[in-house]
Structure 1
Amino acid sequence: MKKVRVIYDPILRKEVKPVTVFSNELKELSEEMLLVMHKNIGMGLAANQLGENKNLLVVEYRPVKDDKDSRPIPPMALCNARIIKSSQETNTKIEGCLSLPGLELLVTRPSGVTIEAQDLTGKPVTIKAKGLLARILQHEVDHLDGILFTDHAQGVKNIRNYNWANIVFFGSDEFSAEVLSGLISSGLNVVAVVTETDKRAGRGDNTVAPLVKKLANKLEIPVIQPENKEEITSVLKQLNPDLVVLASYGKILPEEALEIPTYGALNVHPSLLPKYRGATPLQSALLAGEKETGVTIMKMNKGVDTGEIVSQTTTQISSEDTFISL
């Protein structure tokens, strides 16, 4: 079963392609969308929320016992839906979104809308909706246009800054420390730093702490130094963060651990992936005589630097540059 894409996924900000082929595969996709929607206790779902570049949405609402004001909404699947008319009357209600789990905000929308669309066979349909159905349809049509409900929400400034999210940071070296400093200076909420264990250095029992640990102690952020994959998973289960950010941690996170954060895990990697995966990307770029390098942010999966790229930025390499200067 497909997983719901979350806030930082680029497909959520792209206008999807129209459906032109009305096949059994389309019907199967709509059925899977309904299953995923109900599994996540939703009322509507757009295809791009499952990573599908198709103008397809599904809706169904089964009232809970405490909801005496709403009527059931039967399951429906709409292709190429567009709003052709909106009422002048508006109302303001709390909305949530499966792509921003746990977040609820007040959103003002027209009380009624008229939708033109096609069903799963390609037959044109017109829907005049009001109340809850109108709100759900507007929310899902927005998704298909690359719009999130936070774009309409009241008091959204802090949401756009992401400073509401609890972040656990994984890192060890100088590059990690730079990334951690950037997160903190941006006002983000790093609740804990996970780093490698202290290393023995020289003779005797002297140990050297990772640079990230020294910075975290200075910033008064709790530091955790798990010794194995089981401890990493246990730590994340206890912290239950919204997001994991990793930069040069030195270990591969177990797949089970990657499933724990609400919004998944992001890896900040100092190269223009897919070039120079692994632990020494800057050195490799210099040895190869590259004219530019950069930083890639990707979603983490069980592979090594193989996740979907979220963002990249580039910088030129001068003849005087070294690993340290880069």
Structure 2
Amino acid sequence: MKKNNQTMKFPYINHQIELVIEDKVYKYLKEMTRENLFESLNYIVKEVAGNANKANMKRIHFRRKDLDILDHKEYEEGLKTFQEELNEKPEVYFQLARELGYYVKISMYIEEENLVMMVLDNSPLLPVEVERIREKFKKAAKFKTLEQVFAEGLDLSEGGGFGLIMTILMLRKIGVDEKVFKIMKNEKFTAIHLQLPLNLVSSQESEVIAESIATEIDAIPQFPPHILQLQKILGDPNAEFKDLAKIIERDPALIADLLKTANSVLYALPHQVDSIEEAVKLIGFKGVGTLILTYSTQHLMMNRYRLDVINEIMNHSAEVAFYAHEIAKIFNLKEHI
């Protein structure tokens, strides 16, 4: 018999609705005196709800493009433009979701001493989607830590399974595994059913996510001494360019990065910069600080993770920094530039 049943139903999921879900999940867990599970279960519910929403949006996309989602060739063709168009025109898709009656339904309840969370959408799973879910579960099952996930690298096409991997890692931390997941489907809907024993849940009071992150951070090696010296000099208002140059001379790879930056199109100088001190003067303390942080972080990570994973993260970070800088200029936020 179900007890303490709470249900939410949305025509689509966006950031504002995610905040509503977050609030309701927290209040529900607080009422059940299970606040310690909020971080992990909030992530899991939003991840599963996001996937359910994506399934609905995908059907809308194929309808807009007049493609047969059941045809393998047309399915692959539709996927190529799906994410880009959804990102460009989310309101168009959300409006169509309302008009066409699509929805994502989230239920939370207690049944036979189990905490149950179920996410349902009205898009029946396709055979190709079932197969991809199975592949993601197989992939997720072999990972024990976040370190292993990043060391292996991820296939980012159609989600790549990272969210599922994180979900399973979180569940393992509280003493359960992927077997608590059930996928139910018929010709009208798909539902993800998650069932956690209350007696098991109540005995796990550890800080799940904090512990995992802290362990991973502790395992990352520290910056070498000369990098720490450079950071100390950069924080000294009385430091001079020559002080930086003396220490940079000890690291040939850093010299190469510094001179490459100084001679890049960013500065477009009429002559080539060959001196370390001249390069430091040109780039400035702030620019050198950014370069050193990027250089040292990248080299540390190269000893721990795969190069393609590092490059992807670094490129993403550079893009975020660029857009943040441009936004700060637009709004005249000088202290952030």
Structure 1 or 2: larger helix share? 2
Structure 1 or 2: larger strand share? 1
Bigger relative CO (Cα 8 Å, ≥ 6 apart): 2
Fold shared per TM-score above 0.5: no
